[in-house]
A = this chain, B = another copy of it.
Amino acid sequence: MMDKRIGFIGLGNMGINMAKNLISEGYHLQVYNRTLSKADELDAAHITKCNTPADAAEGVHIVITMLADDEILKEITLGNEGILEKLPEHALHISMSTISPETSEQLATLHEEAGSHYLAAPVFGRPEAAEARKLWVCVSGDQHAKDTAKPVLDCLGQGIIDFGDTVGGANVVKVAGNFMIMASMEMMAEAYTLAEKNGLDRTQVAAFFGSTLFNAPIFQNYGKAIAGKQYQPVGFKSKLGYKDARLAFKLSQASETPMPLVNALHGRLLTAVAKGRGDTDWVEGIGRGVSEDAGV
């Protein structure tokens, strides 16, 4: 059945888990990834390996992209042998990467011109959440696209939240949320370092806040890592965090919204990158930065 054949582009830490969930729900995936060998992790019976994004988009009614940044998404979509070369008329591109609303708006227009559709559907959640179908999916765009995407998105997360008709809306929410996560990490790193330098046990303080006033996943999971200075394994790199800080900063400029904490976090992550720590986990990029400034 044609409906069960979809294109899937981007097999990074997040994408690979999402692809597995789609396969286990009976989808057949036309996969494309820069390093195609990543697809070997998937059940060969239910995928077709493609050599170009265009091939992955050929003949399907839905193609999903989960890529690192705006530039790569644009290249994959608009470039030579890109999605738009072969995406069928009336088909839908579900764009799940963390990108700027500006890029979503630009791509949505180009899809409409080509007779196809584009839906912004960025997600919140780390790779473990992707694996466990616990992602939160934020969507924005036209209603028909949302209806079409729903059965597919239901396989990937625990909830779909609709942020309206303006296609960039969900991207704004995603950028705002990532800012809130990194600000929470900085806040904890400062508070726990203050505790440490005053003779307290960082871990106990983090456990207290994470089980009382701040008993939310962000403060529990990241809080534990920050308090314990657990910087391995690398889940989300500092340089990707810095990319997100740049997205937040750019959005603050574009919408004329002064955001002092965005400035502070941008500075923190830029410093991590400038010091050669772009490939560390962002818990380290932030947490170690705070510790170092405090001489501990």
Contact = CB atoms under 8 A, between A and B. Distances in A.
Contacts of A259: 190, 193-194, 290
Say how many copies of this protein the assembly contains.
Answer: 4
A231 interface: no
Contacts of A246: 253
A36 interface: no
A255 B159 CA distance: 40
A144 interface: no
Interface in A149-207: 159, 161, 163-164, 166, 168-169, 172-173, 175-177, 179-181, 183-184, 186-188, 190-195, 197-201, 204-205
A9 to B, nearest CB: 26
Interface string A70-97: 0000000000000000000000000000
Contact of A262 (B124, B190, B257): B190
Interface residues of A, number: 77
Nearest to A269: B258
A256 B295 contact: yes
A16 B233 CA distance: 50
A209 B276 contact: no
A76 B50 CA distance: 43
B255 A276 contact: no
Interface stretch (A25-33, A51-59, A111-119, A216-224): A216-224
Contact of A274 (B176, B204, B248, B257): B257
28 contacts: A159-B212, A168-B198, A169-B200, A172-B198, A177-B209, A179-B191, A180-B187, A180-B209, A181-B213, A184-B184, A184-B187, A186-B260, A186-B261, A187-B261, A193-B259, A194-B255, A194-B257, A194-B259, A197-B256, A246-B253, A249-B249, A256-B270, A256-B273, A257-B274, A258-B270, A258-B294, A260-B268, A263-B266
